[in-house]
Amino acid sequence: MDAETIRELDRRHLWHPYAPAAPATPAHPVAGAEGVRLRLSDGREVIDGMSSWWAAIHGHNHPRLNAAVRDQVGTMAHVMFGGLTHEPAVRVARRLAAMTGMERVFLADSGSVAVEVAIKMAVQATGRSRLLTVRGGYHGDTFGAMAVCDPVNGMHHMFTGVLPRHVFADRPPGGYGRPLGSSGQSPDEGAGGGAWPVDEAYLRHLDELVARHAGELAAVIVEPVVQGAGGMRFYHPAYLRRLRELADAHGLLLIADEIATGFGRTGELFGCDHAGVTPDIMCVGKALTGGYLTMAATLCTAEVAERVGVLMHGPTFMGNPLAAAVADASLTLLGERPWRHEVGRIEDGLAEGLAEAARAPGVKDVRVLGAIGVIETRAPVDVAKVQDIVMEHGVWLRPFGHLIYTMPPYGTLPDDLARITQAMLAAAHALPA
């Protein structure tokens, strides 16, 4: 099909995420992808500055991941996981357990489902049904996950009346990573990200809130150090450490939603590593398969598994062999590549390339952590206008709310990274004052 036919059929039949059935702006047809680039049907190439929603950390069309899928599909594409097992699932579970130190692995369909499973684990293990989380969080689009997203400023406020009511702490104070120009606090002079000041009043707020509700809480659930789709905010690891201490003191479980932060994105293998804590339950997804197939996992300690007993969840495609095979290949590849060096190089490039954006009148804040670069705007972003600008620079980004941000593949080289930051700067300077 030519590009215009694809657009027309798309407009007629498809419903895209977070959009009306017939959006005013048509989607851009993609004909192929290679490395860090997407090839559009009209012949243009753009750098995938989003890792295709943070998943394609190794880039596109990777020969090792392609081979894993080809080899597996010739043997077995799918088999039910109830009463059966297979080598790809066993391999990926063993690898995840070794990476996290968590013994039990439940293979789920998607990140949202992994969060649903984590909530079920916590409820079954404790016999209590409420969770504590922080405002500004995002944990997925299914009903259990939506209930622990920000109830006021999040994208799910229209469902508030039908969601369970959980306990929400205030947003963690911002401040971690590379500050490039902010209206808020700044780190101690001459220190790195870990030297950002800790807000003692916020720690007391957490102490008091957990103590007040401890008798009804099953668990605390948070995104470690980075709040993703709720605002791309970075917060001090000290707040995560305090939540671990409070969970221990009050007999609660700590659930770490590492779906966006896991597998190196923040500069550490997992977001929890910034704080030196281990959760009782962890959710991973997105980069798990390198962006090839949908798969996520909910991991827990042996103690939690024993308390849960029979876990009441069983997705049809749980442990899908194709997804498990490419997940195992992706994690193997991650372990072999110098991802810390790559992510550090991206962090340096983003910090250097985005610093100028802080001077744009329409910009509120600029921040970088690991392979994440964020321009926060004063007014809501005109998504179509920003996308037109960055695509003119040969870059694909997907801004939302007050954010123009990038999370590029780890193999993004300096020249391509410079194009991403130049595109973001052009978009920032085009913002209304």
pLDDT tens, 187-205?
Answer: 543 334 446 899 999 999 9
Query: Nearest-CA neighbor of 106 among 95, 93, 87?
Result: 93
Calculate mean pLDDT across residues 147-175. Answer: 86
Q: In whole angstroms, how far apart are CA 172 and each of 126, 191, 226, 272, 360? A: 26, 21, 10, 15, 26
Tokens of 42: 């009209």
| 286 within 8 A of 114, measured Cβ to Cβ | no
The distance between the two most distant Cα atoms of the chain, rounded to a whole number of Å, is 62
What pLDDT shows up at residue 158?
Answer: 78
138 is in an annotated binding site: yes
| 261 within 8 A of 224, measured Cβ to Cβ | yes
15 is in an annotated binding site: no
Tokens of 37: 């680039």
- Given this chain, do its domains 3-61+338-430 and 76-336 carry the same CATH topology? no
Q: What does the angle CA 34 – CA 46 – CA 32 come to, to the nearest 5 degrees?
A: 40
CATH number of the 76-336 domain: 3.40.640.10
377 is in an annotated binding site: no
- Rounded to the nearest angstrom, the gap between the alpha carbon of residue 423 and the centroid of all alpha carbons in its chain is 23
175 is in an annotated binding site: no
Answer left, alpha or beta for residue 137, where phi above 0 means left and psi between -120 and 50 means alpha: beta
- Judged against a pLDDT cut of 60, whether residue 50 lies above it is answered with yes
Tokens of 301: 């300690």
- Judged against a pLDDT cut of 50, whether residue 231 lies above it is answered with yes
pLDDT digits over 56-104, tens only? 999 999 999 999 999 999 999 999 999 999 999 999 999 999 999 999 9
- Judged against a pLDDT cut of 80, whether residue 298 lies above it is answered with yes
Answer left, alpha or beta for residue 196, where phi above 0 means left and psi between -120 and 50 means alpha: beta
Q: How many CB atoms lie within 10 A of CB 315?
A: 16
What pLDDT shows up at residue 70?
Answer: 98
Q: What does the angle CA 38 – CA 39 – CA 41 come to, to the nearest 5 degrees?
A: 135
Tokens of 398: 């997907």
Residue 181 pLDDT class (50, 70, 90 cuts): low
- Sheet of 217-222, strand order: 104-108, 296-300, 281-284, 253-257, 217-222, 130-134, 167-169
315 is in an annotated binding site: yes
Would you kindly state where each structural domain of the chain is located, as residue ranges? 3-61+338-430, 76-336
CATH fold of 3-61+338-430, please? Aspartate Aminotransferase, domain 1 (3.90.1150)
Positions marked catalytic: 18, 138, 257, 286
What pLDDT shows up at residue 85?
Answer: 98
Using DSSP's 3-state secondary structure scheme, residue 166 falls into coil
Percent of the chain with pLDDT over 70: 96
53 is in an annotated binding site: yes
The residue ranges of DSSP E strands in 329-408, in sequence order, are: 363-369, 372-377, 395-396, 403-406
266 is in an annotated binding site: no
361 is in an annotated binding site: no
Using DSSP's 3-state secondary structure scheme, residue 271 falls into helix
CA-CA-CA-CA torsion sign (412, 413, 419, 422): positive
- Sheet of 372-377, strand order: 178-179, 363-369, 372-377, 403-406
How buried is 217 (Cβ within 10 angstroms: 0-12 exposed, 13-18 middle, 19+ buried)?
Answer: buried
Q: How high is the mean pLDDT of the chain?
A: 94
Q: In whole angstroms, how far apart are CA 264 and each of 104, 128, 155, 206, 345? A: 21, 33, 26, 28, 13
| 381 within 8 A of 403, measured Cβ to Cβ | yes
202 is in an annotated binding site: no
| 425 within 8 A of 354, measured Cβ to Cβ | yes
286 is in an annotated binding site: yes
